[in-house]
């Protein structure tokens, strides 16, 4: 039975959970005008790497990405996949700490930060313990519950837009792509990198069509555009560049008299938290799989419990938002490795396995 719809929904949810948080800040800081060029470039790189990765997995089928690498030697797999596991662990820490911070800022200012982090981790770990099929089913449920609220927020978010802020559409810096190697643009790939790699960990009992996933990725482009242009059209470049969370601040300015709640930010943030918990569950499940492929005596529950405890302790040692931003930047090399090296190495290894299979 084709389960492409479940895979596509989780693929979209995991990315949407990351897009509207830190991505707008990075792109707005990246350019003064012509932001669409940075968005399109980042998205084009994502789609190209997704296509390469999916092709490699298709060549290596029915093996998952861990088995593909292990076919070329255990130490070969450890050397190439250890940075991926380390990246996933750091991503969980960053995501838990960052989203706890914004929940505290927006509507739970009297709740201790550690309590919010513990809650996010507990729910995500519980879902991860039951495996990827539970994550997919939960993803479908979360999408059905929160998508209407998210669509409402998107439809109302242009209430205070001034379309003159669109101009000029491009300048010399945007046209020359001189921003590509600057820190903000490199940081913006955080919204792309963590999501699509789960496609390589899906077991053969959950069949999906790679072509459908690739086509579904087009649905993310409007989301990337919205995340950047809603705050730009609301505040202008100068003011938006000073905001810590531009999109959330822009949504907070929307006034809806017929709504029983004063702020639609509540709906938006609850939706994002639901999506990001699916994302964290998925990353924890992937990380646990990689750990257990090396330490085979560990059970899934013990692995996830140890990972959860380690992440929680790491989150407690992060003092403030500036420390989160520093960790994000320090993690850039791992991010580029996961984003660039893994898809192409998977393609080469998958192709070699495919040729060996054809030869036999």
Lowest mean pLDDT among 159-163, 247-251, 315-319, 325-329: 159-163
Length of the chain: 360
* pLDDT band at 294; cut points 50, 70, 90: confident
Structural domain including 14 reads 4-359
Q: What is the DSSP letter of 263?
A: -
Looking at the predicted structure, is the pLDDT value of residue 223 above 70?
Answer: yes
Those residues with Cβ within 8 angstroms of residue 146's Cβ, 6 or more apart along the chain or in another chain: 270, 271, 274, 275
Q: 10 Å Cβ neighbour count for 255?
A: 12
Q: How confident is the model at residue 344 (pLDDT cuts 50, 70, 90)?
A: very high
Question: Residue 277 pLDDT > 70, yes or no?
Answer: yes
Instruction: Classify the C-alpha dihedral 320-337-289-143 as positive or negative.
Output: positive
How many separate domains does the chain show? 1
Q: Is the pLDDT of residue 358 over 60?
A: no
pLDDT band for position 258 (50/70/90)? low
In the chain, % of residues over pLDDT 90: 30
How much is the average pLDDT of 208-237? 90
For 353, the 3-state DSSP assignment is: helix
Higher-pLDDT residue of 315, 162: 315
d(CA 310, CA 133): 25
- The CA angle 77-83-86, to the nearest 5 degrees, is 120
Q: Among residues of the chain, what percentage have pLDDT more than 70?
A: 96
The pLDDT value given to residue 360: 46
Question: Between the CA of residue 61 and those of 155, 206, 283, what are the distances in Å?
Answer: 41, 12, 22
CB atoms within 10 A of CB 145: 12
Predicted local confidence at residue 176, as pLDDT: 74
pLDDT at 82: 92
Comparing 32 with 337, the larger pLDDT belongs to 337
Complete DSSP assignment for 267-325:
HHHHHHHHHHHHHHHHHHHHHHHHHHHHSTTS-HHHHHHHHHHHHHHHHHT--SHHHHH
Give the C-alpha separation, 127 to 152, whole Å. 28
- Would you give the DSSP letter of residue 339? I
- If pLDDT is split at 50, 70 and 90, which confidence band does 55 have? very high
Instruction: Summarize pLDDT for 104-125 with one digit per residue, the tens.
Output: 877 777 788 888 999 999 999 9
- Name residue, tokens 């559409």: 169
Neighbours of 5 (CB within 10 A): 13
DSSP 164: G
**Position 166 pLDDT exceeds 90:** no
| pLDDT bucket at 357, cuts 50 / 70 / 90 | low
The percent of the chain in helix, strand and coil, each rounded to the nearest 5, is 75, 0, 25
What one-character DSSP code corresponds to residue 166? Answer: G
CA distances for 32 relative to 28, 237, 240, angstroms: 7, 6, 10
Residue 138 near residue 278, CB atoms below 8 Å: yes
Q: The domain that contains 23 carries what CATH number? A: 1.20.1740.10
Whether the CA torsion 117, 119, 124, 125 is positive or negative: it is: positive
Does the pLDDT at position 284 exceed 90?
A: yes
């Amino acid at each position: 039975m084709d389960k492409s719809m479940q895979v596509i929904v989780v693929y979209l949810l995991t990315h949407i959970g990351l897009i509207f948080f830190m991505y707008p800040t990075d792109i707005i800081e990246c350019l003064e005008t012509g932001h669409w060029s940075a968005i399109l470039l980042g998205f084009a790189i994502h789609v190209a790497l997704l296509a390469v990765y999916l092709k490699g997995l298709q060549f290596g089928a029915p093996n998952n990405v861990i088995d593909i690498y292990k076919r070329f030697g255990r130490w070969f797999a450890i050397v190439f996949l250890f940075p991926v596991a380390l990246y996933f662990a750091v991503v969980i820490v960053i995501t838990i700490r960052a989203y706890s911070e914004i929940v505290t800022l927006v509507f739970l200012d009297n709740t201790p930060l550690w309590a919010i982090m513990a809650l996010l981790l507990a729910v995500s770990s519980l879902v991860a313990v039951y495996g990827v099929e539970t994550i997919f089913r939960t993803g479908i449920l979360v999408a059905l519950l929160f998508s209407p609220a998210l669509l409402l927020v998107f439809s109302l978010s242009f209430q205070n837009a001034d379309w003159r802020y669109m101009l000029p559409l491009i300048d010399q810096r945007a046209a020359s792509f001189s921003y590509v190697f600057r820190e903000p643009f490199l940081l913006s790939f955080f919204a792309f990198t963590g999501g699509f790699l789960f496609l390589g960990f899906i077991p053969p009992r959950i069949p999906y069509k790679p072509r459908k996933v690739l086509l579904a990725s087009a649905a993310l482009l409007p989301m990337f555009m919205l995340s950047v242009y809603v705050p730009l059209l609301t505040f202008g470049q100068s003011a938006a560049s000073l905001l810590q969370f531009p999109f959330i601040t822009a949504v907070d300015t929307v006034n809806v008299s017929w709504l029983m709640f004063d702020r639609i930010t509540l709906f938006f943030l609850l939706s994002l938290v639901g999506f990001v918990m699916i994302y964290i569950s998925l990353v924890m499940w992937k990380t646990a799989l990689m750990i257990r492929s090396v330490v085979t005596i560990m059970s899934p529950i013990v692995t996830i419990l140890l990972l959860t405890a380690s992440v929680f302790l790491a989150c407690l040692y992060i003092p403030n938002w500036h420390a989160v931003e520093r960790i994000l930047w320090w993690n850039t090399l791992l991010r580029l490795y996961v984003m660039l090296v893994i898809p192409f190495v998977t393609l080469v290894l998958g192709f070699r396995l495919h040729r060996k299979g054809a030869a036999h």
